[in-house]
Structure 1
Amino acid sequence: MHTLGNADTCQDCFVHSRAAYYPNSDDKGTETGQCGYGTFGSTINGGDVSAASNLYQAGVGCGSCYQVRCTNNNYCSDKGVTVVITDSGSSHNTDFILSRRAFGRMAQNTDAATSLLALGIVDIEYRRVPCSYPNRNITFKIDENSNNPHYLAFVIWYQQGRKDITAVQLCETQNFECRLLDRTYGAVWTATPPPSGSLSIRMLFRDDNGDETWVVPVNNIPQNWKPSDTYDSGVQVNA
């Protein structure tokens, strides 16, 4: 096994760090994470989620997946746990603050998980891995504070693969006019006011090498979109 100080120099190499877990009593993630996922952020990936410090990247890291495994041979499994970044935070020089569930799943068994949780903070190694959501397309969740036709905010769910979404365009489908949106925070994108008519949300994906590709959804968001509704893009980005 190779271990490097910089994850960017080797896609499959592990990086040494430390991890803690959310101090709340809930086994899963928080509903108030800085990525803006809400309830979805606590239950995605079965609740195996994490806050990140530097890997949050001002919101660009939201939705990315990492294999995290602790290094104490007495308690830890070789496989560790795969987590989705849903929040921002750090504690005592940690790169990850895992949900209690995810923290315990780094262990070999239930008894070892209890011992791990008692430690609170552990040495780990991690690497970026592709996110996988079988039978799910990228989905747009309209924020409940949106107000058609004056204000549109949405979050991108089920970001597959290991690429980052670095920019989003909102296109009015009748005249094909597009404009770049602001990343308000985390994975939340806004338009004030949005274009009229049905809308197409184009996403710019960047890979580890810096190569960028625009992805155009198959499905449009209808003209009569409503707050809290979800819309299936019809596409997956698994590479």
Structure 2
Amino acid sequence: MASVIGSSKVVALGALIFSLLFSSGSFAVLANFNASHITADPYWVPARATWYGAPTGAGPMDNETVIITDMNYYPVAKYHFDLSGTAFGAMALPGRNDELRHAGIIDIQFKRVPCYYPGQMVTFHIDKGSNPVYFAVLVEFEDGDGDVVQVDLMEANSWVWTPMRESWGSIWRLDSKHRLTAPFSLRITNESGKTLVATQVIPANWAPNTYYRSNIQYYDYYQEQEGPGVGLVISSAAGLDTKILGIIGLISLVLLYSLHEIEVPLATW
């Protein structure tokens, strides 16, 4: 998990580590690398990155996917990524990872690309604190832009959609003045304005801290894309010895539009 720091509302982002810039597990040097080819792309966004935690902070089991779920407002930069010691050190040349971890804040650029969860349908995780008058749900595995901007709930024997409000991250909540009657249908709208309805996806005997898989998905958004490319570029900070950095600070991360959330503490990976 990594945190995002911003001065305005930021959608949660997922980060996928690519291997196309590595050779036999180590960084390869790109003789003809030209950062201007990337910075000229208007979709690349400036940000900063910092080492956070222990020098050997653990990564995910597959060592590939990082889901970024939330932000705070400490004004380091509009967007700021805290990476574990393992992740941050992996950007260095062999044997120099500790030097890089102590380099401080590094300037980076990132680029958003479509989410794609092969074989997954949009899934709803009921928050553990939910009860008959308080219903909160985490929306997961949305393909495409991945940014849910509205969730509405319809009770059983009703034709009225009741808007839910965003609680934090990608959790949406409904504080009701009456006991809610299940099964529930949920309607989600993404940042691109496309709406999907999961009819009676939450059963009458629903339980807190339970996952309910729907039969809906934003398939077409990913299919319209040509596919992901290199998504996160590290540029040298002022005074930083760029010889420490593999391929002059180029790391292969692709940032996804994901609001999928893993409930672990922020700023760890």
Please indicate the TM-score interval, normalised by the length of the shorter structure. Answer: 0.5 to 0.7
Q: 1:3 pairs with 35, 39, 48, which one? A: 39
In the TM superposition, residue 163 of structure 1 has moved relative to its aligned partner by: 4.2
Q: 1:19 pairs with 49, 58, 73, which one? A: 49
In the TM superposition, residue 97 of structure 1 has moved relative to its aligned partner by: 2.1
Call closer, same or farther: CA 1:163–1:153 in 2, change over 3 Å.
closer
In the TM superposition, residue 213 of structure 1 has moved relative to its aligned partner by: 1.5
Q: Distance in 1 between matches of 2:125 and 2:78?
A: 30
Which of the pair has more CA radius of gyration? 2
Matches within 5 A, 1:30-179: 48-49=65-66, 84-89=67-72, 90=74, 92-93=76-77, 95-100=79-84, 101-104=86-89, 107=91, 111=95, 113-147=97-131, 149-179=132-162
The TM-score, its normalising length taken from structure 1, stands at 0.63
1:205-236 CA-partner distances (Å, limit 9, x unpaired): 123xxxx1111126611011101001112222
1:6-48 CA-partner distances (Å, limit 9, x unpaired): x9xx4xx3223311143357434xxxxxxxxxxxxxx698574
Call closer, same or farther: CA 1:225–1:102 in 2, change over 3 Å.
farther
In the TM superposition, residue 140 of structure 1 has moved relative to its aligned partner by: 0.9
Q: Residue type matched to 1:195 in 2? A: L
Q: Distance in 2 between matches of 1:140 and 1:234?
A: 11
CA contact (8 A) 2:69 2:170 kept: no
Q: Distance in 2 between matches of 1:143 and 1:231?
A: 12
CA contact (8 A) 1:48 1:102 kept: no
The TM-score, its normalising length taken from structure 2, stands at 0.57
Q: Residue type matched to 1:3 in 2? A: T
Aligned residues: 179
**% identity of equivalent residues:** 28
CA contact (8 A) 1:47 1:102 kept: no
In the TM superposition, residue 92 of structure 1 has moved relative to its aligned partner by: 3.0
Call closer, same or farther: CA 1:110–1:174 in 2, change over 3 Å.
farther
Range that drifts further, 86-95 or 118-127: 86-95
1:222 corresponding residue in structure 2: 203
Q: 1:192 pairs with 169, 175, 183, which one? A: 175
Call closer, same or farther: CA 1:214–1:176 in 2, change over 3 Å.
same
Range that drifts further, 185-194 or 197-206: 185-194
Call closer, same or farther: CA 1:201–1:111 in 2, change over 3 Å.
farther
Q: Distance in 2 between matches of 1:104 and 1:237?
A: 36
Q: Distance in 1 between matches of 2:61 and 2:187?
A: 23
Q: Residue type matched to 2:186 in 1? A: I
Q: Residue type matched to 2:53 in 1? A: P
1:81-135 CA-partner distances (Å, limit 9, x unpaired): xxx3212134633612233154345x26664544432324211111111222222
SS in structure 2 of the partner of residue 116 of structure 1: helix
Q: Residue type matched to 2:147 in 1? A: D
Q: CA RMSD in A?
A: 3.0
Q: Are 1:201 and 2:231 matched, yes or no?
A: no
Call closer, same or farther: CA 1:201–1:122 in 2, change over 3 Å.
same
In the TM superposition, residue 145 of structure 1 has moved relative to its aligned partner by: 0.9
